[in-house]
Structure 1
Amino acid sequence: MDTILALLTDPAAWAAFLTLVVLEVVLGIDNLIFISILSNKLPPHQQQTARRVGIGLALVMRLALLSMIAFIVSLTNPVFDLGITGAVDGYGKPSFETAFSWRDLILIAGGLFLVWKATKEIHHTMDDEPTGEALDKQGKAAVSFGSAIAQIVALDMVFSIDSILTAVGMTDEVPIMMAAVIVTVAIMLVAADPLARFINANPTVVMLALGFLLMIGAVLIADGFGVHVPKGYIYAAMAFSAGVETLNIVSRRSKTKKRLAREAIEREAVR
């Protein structure tokens, strides 16, 4: 109890908490986009439940991983080395790592899954007549509730480990990490339904979001091989793309309003 009170009165602890919340929210965007796209493929009465279950499992998983913080940190220790001498960069360092930790392997597996899933969804979006897939009433490829939850859990694991390792790099206080995770997941719960509705109502946003997932998957694979792409570049590119798409949406809505107004005037003239 004394430790908690000391943290509550420590400005440095509050600064670490707020910084962690911001970082966790940014890192959680990837997870939330994936959950939104996948849940939108379910029947309407199951979509909100899938989002709630997926985000709830993300909270449970992150809190459980925080309780095993020493084990999570140990995941960064190499488990095997291929012993391959790769090309060197301009500083004389290897351009990729040949020693792999469990974290590297998890990131590579998660990245491959994201690339495969995003590519598959892009194919379904572009193909008007998917073959070999169960279809819903709108002609979209459907997934079962269990399959959706299983895929969400698999990605939750990857994003949770990355999230926890980021938190460890910011502070040594587990209570601060847990509080930041709880606040972040609460924000995700509030944002999940509006984001899913927005993505579902704007088909071009679906393609943009799938492009984000494809890029994130490639970054995870690169990170697993020791090629670290600064996250700032990734999120700046995502923000720029989202800004351009926002302008497109506003332009389309403006044109639609003008067209409807013109048609209304023409109908009145005919009368």
Structure 2
Amino acid sequence: MDSLLALFSDPAAWAALVALVVMEVVLGIDNLIFISILSNKLPDEQRKRARRVGIGLALVMRLTLLSMIAWLVGLTAPVFDLGLSGPVDAHGAPAFETQFSWRDLILIAGGLFLIWKATKEIHHNVDPAPTGDVFETKGVAAIGFGAAIFQIILLDMVFSIDSILTAVGMTDNLAIMVIAVLAAVTAMLLAADPLANFINKNPTVVMLALGFLLMIGAVLIADGFGVHVPKGYIYAAMAFSTLVELLNILSRRAQGRKVPKNS
């Protein structure tokens, strides 16, 4: 306890904590969008439970990985090298890595899964199957509760590894990392239902969110190949697209409130 009090009496520790909480919340947006889209494919009575289970699993995975930091950091060590002489950039450095670690392979697999999943959902939105015995709504193919949780677990693992490795890169203090993870997951828990309901009530937002997942998947694959896209660019593009879509929603609502004049 004394060590914790001493730690948080240090302004540098508070600065690191605030920066890490903000970073973890931002990184959690990707996870939350995926959970929201997937849970909205379930019957109404199962959606909230799926979100709670998905976010709870995200917390468990992050805390488990924090308890195995030495093993987690070891995931960044190369496990094989393709030995290829790929293209080089303007400075003569390789344009992409030919050495791959377990982290790289996990990011590539997660990115491919996200692209496949988002593409499949876009197809169902653009060309929905006829409504039959399987629960289906708003052109989104339904899945079972178990299948939804399984897919959430797969992406939770990818996002959790990325999240914790980011935390390790920002601070070496375990207490700060644990508090930041708890704060980020709490924010996800509070935002889960409002975000999912908003996405469900606005079909165009569903397509925007699926576009975000496509972009995030591409960034994960690029990161796995050693092409590091600054996260600030990604989230700035997402924020701008969201702002434009919100303006479109407000415009549609304003037009809907207009009373047609009698001729």
Confirm or deny a common fold (TM above 0.5): yes
Q: Secondary structure in 1 aligned to 2:30? A: helix
**Change over 3 Å in CA distance of 1:242–1:161 after alignment to 2:** same
The corresponding residue for 2:233 is 233
CA contact (8 A) 1:124 1:130 kept: no
Q: Matched residues in 1 for 2:162 and 2:134: separation? A: 34
Q: Displacement, 1:8?
A: 2.0
CA contact (8 A) 1:130 1:141 kept: no
The corresponding residue for 2:116 is 116
Q: Displacement, 1:162?
A: 0.4
Per-residue CA distance 1:228-260 (angstroms, 9 max, x = gap): 1111111111111111111100100000000xx
Q: Displacement, 1:48?
A: 0.2
Q: Matched residues in 2 for 1:16 and 1:140: separation? A: 42
Deviation >4 Å, runs of 4+: 130-133
**Change over 3 Å in CA distance of 1:137–1:92 after alignment to 2:** closer
Instruction: Please tell me the residue identity of whatever aligns with 1:115.
Output: I
Matched, 1:252 2:252: yes
The corresponding residue for 1:160 is 160
Q: Displacement, 1:131?
A: 9.6
Q: Secondary structure in 2 aligned to 1:150? A: helix
Q: Matched residues in 1 for 2:140 and 2:246: separation? A: 25
Matched, 1:15 2:11: no
Q: Matched residues in 2 for 1:129 and 1:161: separation? A: 36
Kindly report the root-mean-square deviation, in angstroms, between the aligned alpha carbons of the 2 structures: 1.7
Of all paired residues, the percent bearing the same amino acid is 73
**Change over 3 Å in CA distance of 1:137–1:237 after alignment to 2:** closer
Gaps of 5+ in 1: none
Q: Displacement, 1:103?
A: 0.3
Gaps of 5+ in 2: none
The corresponding residue for 2:202 is 202
The corresponding residue for 1:40 is 40
Q: Matched residues in 2 for 1:101 and 1:247: separation? A: 43
CA contact (8 A) 2:121 2:140 kept: no
Q: Matched residues in 2 for 1:141 and 1:121: separation? A: 8
Which of 1 and 2 has greater Rg? 1
The corresponding residue for 1:147 is 147
The corresponding residue for 1:169 is 169
Q: Matched residues in 1 for 2:139 and 2:23: separation? A: 38
Q: Which stretch shifts more, 122-131 or 167-176?
A: 122-131
CA contact (8 A) 1:86 1:95 kept: yes
Q: Displacement, 1:3?
A: 1.6
Alignment coverage as a number of residue pairs: 263
Q: Displacement, 1:130?
A: 5.9
The corresponding residue for 1:107 is 107
Instruction: Please tell me the residue identity of whatever aligns with 2:126.
Output: M
Q: Displacement, 1:135?
A: 3.7
Q: Displacement, 1:140?
A: 3.6
Q: Matched residues in 2 for 1:254 and 1:147: separation? A: 39
Q: Secondary structure in 2 aligned to 1:71? A: helix
Matched, 1:77 2:77: yes
The corresponding residue for 1:185 is 185
CA contact (8 A) 2:125 2:138 kept: no
